[in-house]
Structure 1
Amino acid sequence: MSVTDNGSLVKKPGLLIAAIVLGVILNPLNTTMITVALPAIQNDFQLTSKDIAWLISSYFIVSAIFMPLAGKLSDHYGRKKIYLIGLLLVSISSILAPLSSSMMFLLGMRTIQAIGTSALFPAGIGIVRTFIDKNQNRVIATLAVFATTSAAFGPTISGLLIEYAGWPVIFYVNLPIIIASAILTLVFIPNDSRIAGTPYVWDFIGIVLFGMLMTCWMVFLQSLENDFNLWTFILSIVTTLLFYFYEKKKRDPFINVVFLTKNPKISFVYLQYILITLVFFALILSMPTYLQKVIMLDSKSAGLMMLSISMFAMMMTPIATRWIEKVGFRIPLLCGAAIGILGVGLLFAFNQTSNLIWIFIVLAIIGVSNGALTIGTQNSLYAMVTKEQSGIASGLLQTSRFIGNILASSLYGLMFTSGVNDGNKNSIAIVLLIVSVLIIPGMLYITKKDKVSEKEN
Structure 2
Amino acid sequence: MASAVLNPVNSTLIAVALVPIGQSFGAGPGKTAWLISALYLATAVGQPVVGLLVDRYGARRVLLGGASVVIVAGIAGMIPISVEWLTGVRAVLGIGTCAGFPAAMAVLRKRADALGQGVPARVLSLLSLSSQTIMVIGPTLGGVLITLFGWPAIFAVNIPLAGASLLLAIFWVPKDTPVRDEATKPKPIDVLGIALFSLSLLVLLCYLMAPGIGDLWLLAAAVAVGAAFVWVELHTRVPFIDLRMLVANTPILRTYLRQALSFMVIYAIMFGYVQWLEEGRGFSDAIAGALLLPMSVVAVCAAAFSGRTTGIRARLVVVAVALLIGSVALLFVGDTTWLVGLLALVAVFGLAQGLTSVANQTTLYRESPAETMGTASGLFRTAQYLGAIVASTVIAQCYGVHADSAGLHHLGTVLVVISALLLVVTGADRGLKLAERRERARQA
- Give the TM-score normalised by structure 1: 0.90
- Structure 1: how far apart are the matches of 2:63 and 2:32? 30
Quote how far apart the aligned CAs of 1:48 are.
Answer: 4.2
1:449 paired to 2:434 = yes
Partners of 1:77 and 1:194 within 8 A in 2: no
Partners of 2:124 and 2:307 within 8 A in 1: no
Partners of 1:206 and 1:247 within 8 A in 2: yes
Quote how far apart the aligned CAs of 1:359 are.
Answer: 0.8
Quote how far apart the aligned CAs of 1:448 are.
Answer: 4.2
- Structure 1: how far apart are the matches of 2:111 and 2:26? 49
Quote how far apart the aligned CAs of 1:198 are.
Answer: 3.5
Match of 2:83 among 90, 100, 103: 103
1:213 paired to 2:213 = no
Quote how far apart the aligned CAs of 1:86 are.
Answer: 0.8
Secondary structure class of the residue paired with 1:190: coil
- Structure 2: how far apart are the matches of 1:106 and 1:227? 31
Pairing 1:333-352 to 2, within 5 Å after superposition: 333-352=316-335
Match of 1:235 among 197, 207, 221: 221
1:268 paired to 2:254 = yes
- Structure 2: how far apart are the matches of 1:180 and 1:197? 30
Secondary structure class of the residue paired with 2:335: coil
Q: Deviation string for 1:58-81 (max 9, x for gaps)?
A: 212211121111111111111111
Secondary structure class of the residue paired with 1:349: coil
- Structure 2: how far apart are the matches of 1:48 and 1:301? 24
- Structure 1: how far apart are the matches of 2:134 and 2:142? 11
Quote how far apart the aligned CAs of 1:361 are.
Answer: 0.7
Change (3 A) 1:435 1:267: same
Partner residue in 1 for 2:296 = 310
Partners of 1:78 and 1:194 within 8 A in 2: no
- Structure 1: how far apart are the matches of 2:25 and 2:244? 46
- Structure 2: how far apart are the matches of 1:49 and 1:356? 30
Match of 1:321 among 307, 310, 314: 307
Partner residue in 2 for 1:167 = 151
- Structure 2: how far apart are the matches of 1:33 and 1:140? 24
Quote how far apart the aligned CAs of 1:441 are.
Answer: 2.4
Quote how far apart the aligned CAs of 1:87 are.
Answer: 0.8
- Structure 2: how far apart are the matches of 1:229 and 1:99? 35
Letter in 2 for 1:91: I
Q: Unmatched 5+ residue regions in structure 1?
A: 1-19
Secondary structure class of the residue paired with 2:27: coil
Q: Deviation string for 1:286-335 (max 9, x for gaps)?
A: 1111111222221111111112112111111132333xx34x42222112
Quote how far apart the aligned CAs of 1:37 are.
Answer: 0.8
Q: Number of matched residues?
A: 432
Quote how far apart the aligned CAs of 1:143 are.
Answer: 0.7
- Structure 2: how far apart are the matches of 1:125 and 1:176? 23
Q: Where in structure 1 do 4 or more consecutive aligned residues deviate above 3 Å?
A: 132-135, 194-200
- Structure 1: how far apart are the matches of 2:223 and 2:72? 37
Q: Deviation string for 1:405-431 (max 9, x for gaps)?
A: 110111111111141111100110111
- Structure 2: how far apart are the matches of 1:71 and 1:279? 26
Partners of 1:156 and 1:303 within 8 A in 2: no
Farther off after superposition, 244-253 or 85-94: 244-253
- Structure 1: how far apart are the matches of 2:30 and 2:6? 26
Partner residue in 2 for 1:434 = 417
Change (3 A) 1:200 1:41: farther
Pairing 1:40-55 to 2, within 5 Å after superposition: 40-55=20-35
1:114 paired to 2:94 = yes
Secondary structure class of the residue paired with 1:268: helix
Q: Deviation string for 1:98-117 (max 9, x for gaps)?
A: 11312343233222211110
Farther off after superposition, 208-217 or 125-134: 125-134
Partners of 1:75 and 1:194 within 8 A in 2: no
1:204 paired to 2:187 = no
Quote how far apart the aligned CAs of 1:50 are.
Answer: 3.4
1:386 paired to 2:369 = yes
Partners of 2:320 and 2:419 within 8 A in 1: yes
1:143 paired to 2:127 = yes
- Structure 1: how far apart are the matches of 2:83 and 2:30? 12
- Structure 1: how far apart are the matches of 2:315 and 2:104? 26
Match of 1:301 among 278, 287, 304: 287
Q: Indicate the percent of aligned positions where both proteins have the same amino acid.
A: 28
Partners of 2:132 and 2:354 within 8 A in 1: no
Partner residue in 2 for 1:6 = none
Partners of 1:32 and 1:154 within 8 A in 2: yes
Pairing 1:84-95 to 2, within 5 Å after superposition: 84-95=64-75
Partner residue in 2 for 1:183 = 167
Partners of 1:343 and 1:366 within 8 A in 2: yes
Quote how far apart the aligned CAs of 1:208 are.
Answer: 1.4
Quote how far apart the aligned CAs of 1:95 are.
Answer: 1.4
Partners of 1:27 and 1:117 within 8 A in 2: yes
Quote how far apart the aligned CAs of 1:156 are.
Answer: 1.9
RMSD (Å) for aligned C-alpha atoms:
1.9
Farther off after superposition, 27-36 or 447-456: 447-456
1:423 paired to 2:406 = yes
Change (3 A) 1:73 1:218: same
- Give the TM-score normalised by structure 2: 0.92
- Structure 1: how far apart are the matches of 2:401 and 2:45? 33
- Structure 2: how far apart are the matches of 1:64 and 1:438? 23
Partners of 2:276 and 2:408 within 8 A in 1: yes
1:373 paired to 2:356 = yes
Partners of 2:45 and 2:202 within 8 A in 1: no
Partners of 2:38 and 2:88 within 8 A in 1: no
